[in-house]
């Protein structure tokens, strides 16, 4: 008996220790007064969003806004570079005009002397069997259809030459020129001779490098004619790919009166460019008694390379202006599209947010109505019964003796089993 009582005491003590440990681990705030355990509100996981915001759509709106700011900044940079190209044309024109006037004066004085047969750069071949093409494009994209149009015109010209049995030699300026020919001149025959990077800041040395390469293949007899394909600048909204012959030089080309340049202006707060007709330089008057220190052929041979360089320099500036104007238009269109897309996404975002808020309000209202219905289903006390009248009737029945003071015995055994018999 002593061992059994000791074992029972240990079991009871162990149970008490376990209950105490559980109570202290849970904390007093997590134990209910009825002995049950309820989780703390801080540990509840909410499965319903706290705000009616679509994070993915919100990030898309922010991304579109940033893209619009970037394209607008690129448009402004292109506009500044167009002005820089105009300044380059203005700086190069005085030297070109003076040189062209001097060449015209010498050609006028020696007119009819068979000068074309003596100067290689002015000699027109009887038959053209080989042609070199200077293709001017850009190093970068994001300029609309500028590179595509120039490459398409080059592909058309190469097909025309292939039909005549001529495989042209290509001098490509700009990284996009090679990629454009692969797409637009697919299936044609051409030879890439040299690739030149399109400079951001065009200088006379860049034009001289191109002019020397073209003059070398022309004077060596490898080609009989040199053409240039570039985008002629008309205004900020228009530029067309053109094909122009630059070698051999013709004295009649020096008298071309259709010379023009572009001028950047601002009208009503908007940037614009206008083509301005420039009068052709007049021939320098050379007196009849002027004695040349060197032969006229030698003088012209030293001047014509400079004239070719000046012409290529002007065409580089014009091609760059066409590229930058195309980039301005492309970035302006991208900025406008980003603004319109941002408005549409914001409208969709507001609609979805309003729909989510309306749904949450509807759910709360339905829940409240459900609770009211549940309370209305509890049976009432009666039309005329009240809590006080029920208590009075109950006490009256007790006093009259209709209700016994002693509760009725429950059903079951009347005696409990003895403990000694249970453990026997």
pLDDT of 301 above 60: yes
At residue 339, the 3 state secondary structure works out as helix
Provide the angle, in degrees to the nearest 10, between the axes of the packed helices 175-184 and 146-163: 60
* CATH number of the domain to which 161 belongs: 3.40.1380.10
Q: Which of 138-152, 173-187, 403-417 has the lowest mean pLDDT?
A: 403-417
405 contact partners, CB below 8 Å, separation of at least 6: 398
Q: What integer pLDDT is reported at residue 290 of this predicted model?
A: 64
Residue whose entry in the numeric block shows the structure tokens 């402004």: 76
Catalytic choice (102, 143, 158, 312): 143
Q: Is the bond into 248 cis (omega within 30 degrees of 0)?
A: yes
pLDDT of 269 above 60: no
- Whether residue 216 is contained in a domain is answered as yes
DSSP H/E element including 325: helix 296-376
Q: Decide: 177 and 137 in contact? Cβ < 8 Å.
A: yes
- Residue 216, Cβ density class (10 Å: 0-12 exposed, 13-18 middle, ≥19 buried): exposed
Instruction: State the pLDDT confidence band at 289, using cuts at 50, 70 and 90.
Output: low
Query: How far is Cα 2 from Cα 361, in angstroms, rounded to an integer?
Result: 69
Q: Where is pLDDT greater, at 340 or 284?
A: 340
pLDDT digits (tens, 9 = 90+) for 233-256: 877 788 889 888 888 876 555 555
Q: Between the CA of residue 246 and those of 88, 136, 138, 305, what are the distances in Å?
A: 21, 14, 20, 11
pLDDT digits (tens, 9 = 90+) for 334-392: 999 999 999 999 999 888 888 888 888 888 888 888 888 777 765 555 555 555 566 67
pLDDT digits (tens, 9 = 90+) for 186-209: 888 999 998 988 888 888 888 889
- Whether residue 402 is contained in a domain is answered as no
Q: Decide: 249 and 307 in contact? Cβ < 8 Å.
A: yes
pLDDT digits (tens, 9 = 90+) for 310-322: 888 888 888 888 8
Q: What integer pLDDT is reported at residue 368 of this predicted model?
A: 85
Share of the chain above pLDDT 90, in %: 13
Query: How far is Cα 388 from Cα 394, in angstroms, rounded to an integer?
Result: 10
- Residue 384, Cβ density class (10 Å: 0-12 exposed, 13-18 middle, ≥19 buried): exposed
- Whether residue 277 is contained in a domain is answered as yes
- Whether residue 18 is contained in a domain is answered as no
Supply the mean pLDDT for the chain: 75
Please give the backbone phi and psi of residue 110, each rounded to the nearest 5 degrees, phi first: -100, 25
DSSP code at position 37:
B
- Whether residue 270 is contained in a domain is answered as yes
Q: Decide: 308 and 247 in contact? Cβ < 8 Å.
A: yes
- Whether residue 295 is contained in a domain is answered as no
- Whether residue 75 is contained in a domain is answered as yes
- Whether residue 375 is contained in a domain is answered as no
Token pair for 337? 């599209």
Q: What integer pLDDT is reported at residue 159 of this predicted model?
A: 92
Nearest to 360 by CA among 10, 53, 9: 53
Q: Decide: 231 and 319 in contact? Cβ < 8 Å.
A: yes
Active site residue 20: no
At residue 275, the 3 state secondary structure works out as strand
pLDDT of 171 above 90: yes
Beta bridge mates, 132: 169, 226
In the chain the first and final C-alpha atoms are separated, in Å, by 11
Query: Which range marks the domain in which residue 146 is found?
Result: 62-285+300-345
Residue whose entry in the numeric block shows the structure tokens 């019964």: 385
Q: Which of 50-59, 127-136, 149-158, 359-368 has the lowest mean pLDDT?
A: 50-59
Instruction: State the pLDDT confidence band at 90, using cuts at 50, 70 and 90.
Output: confident
Domains: count for the chain = 1
Q: Decide: 151 and 181 in contact? Cβ < 8 Å.
A: yes
Q: What integer pLDDT is reported at residue 45 of this predicted model?
A: 52
Residue whose entry in the numeric block shows the structure tokens 């009211």: 372
pLDDT of 99 above 50: yes
């Amino acid at each position: 008996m002593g061992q059994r009582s000791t074992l029972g005491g240990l079991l009871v003590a162990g149970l008490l220790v376990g209950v105490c440990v559980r109570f202290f681990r849970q904390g007093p705030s997590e134990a209910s007064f009825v002995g049950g355990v309820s989780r703390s509100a801080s540990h509840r996981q909410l499965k319903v969003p706290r705000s009616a915001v679509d994070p993915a759509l919100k990030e898309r709106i922010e991304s579109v806004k940033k893209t619009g700011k970037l394209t607008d900044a690129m448009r402004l940079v292109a506009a500044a570079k167009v002005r820089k190209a105009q300044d380059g044309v203005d700086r190069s024109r005085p030297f070109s005009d003076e040189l062209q006037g001097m060449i015209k004066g010498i050609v006028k004085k020696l007119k009819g002397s068979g000068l074309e047969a003596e100067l290689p750069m002015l000699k027109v071949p009887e038959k053209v069997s080989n042609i070199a093409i200077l293709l001017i494009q850009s190093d970068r994209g994001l300029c609309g259809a500028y590179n595509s149009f120039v490459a398409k015109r080059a592909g058309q010209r190469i097909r025309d030459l292939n039909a005549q049995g001529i495989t042209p030699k290509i001098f490509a300026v700009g990284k996009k020129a090679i990629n454009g020919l692969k797409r637009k001149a697919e299936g044609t025959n051409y030879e890439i001779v040299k690739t030149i990077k399109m400079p951001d800041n065009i200088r006379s040395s860049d034009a001289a490098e191109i002019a020397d390469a073209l003059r070398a293949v022309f004077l060596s007899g490898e080609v009989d004619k040199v053409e240039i394909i570039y985008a002629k600048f008309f205004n900020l909204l228009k530029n067309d790919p053109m094909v122009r012959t630059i070698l051999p030089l013709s004295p009649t080309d020096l008298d071309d009166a259709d010379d023009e340049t572009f001028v950047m202006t601002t009208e009503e707060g908007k940037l614009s460019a206008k083509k301005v007709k420039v009068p052709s330089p007049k021939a320098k008057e050379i007196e009849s008694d002027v004695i040349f220190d060197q032969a006229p052929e030698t003088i012209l041979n030293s001047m014509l390379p400079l004239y070719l360089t000046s012409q290529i320099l002007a065409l580089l500036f014009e091609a760059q202006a066409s590229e930058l104007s195309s980039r301005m238009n492309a970035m302006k269109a991208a900025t406008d599209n980003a603004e319109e897309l941002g408005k549409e996404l914001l409208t969709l975002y507001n609609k979805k947010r309003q729909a989510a808020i309306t749904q949450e309000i509807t759910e709360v209202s339905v829940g409240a109505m459900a609770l009211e219905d549940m309370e209305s289903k509890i049976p009432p006390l009666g039309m005329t019964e009240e809590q006080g009248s029920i208590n009075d009737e109950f006490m009256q029945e007790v006093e009259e003796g209709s209700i016994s003071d002693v509760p009725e015995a429950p059903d079951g055994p009347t005696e409990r089993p003895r403990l000694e018999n249970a453990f026997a």
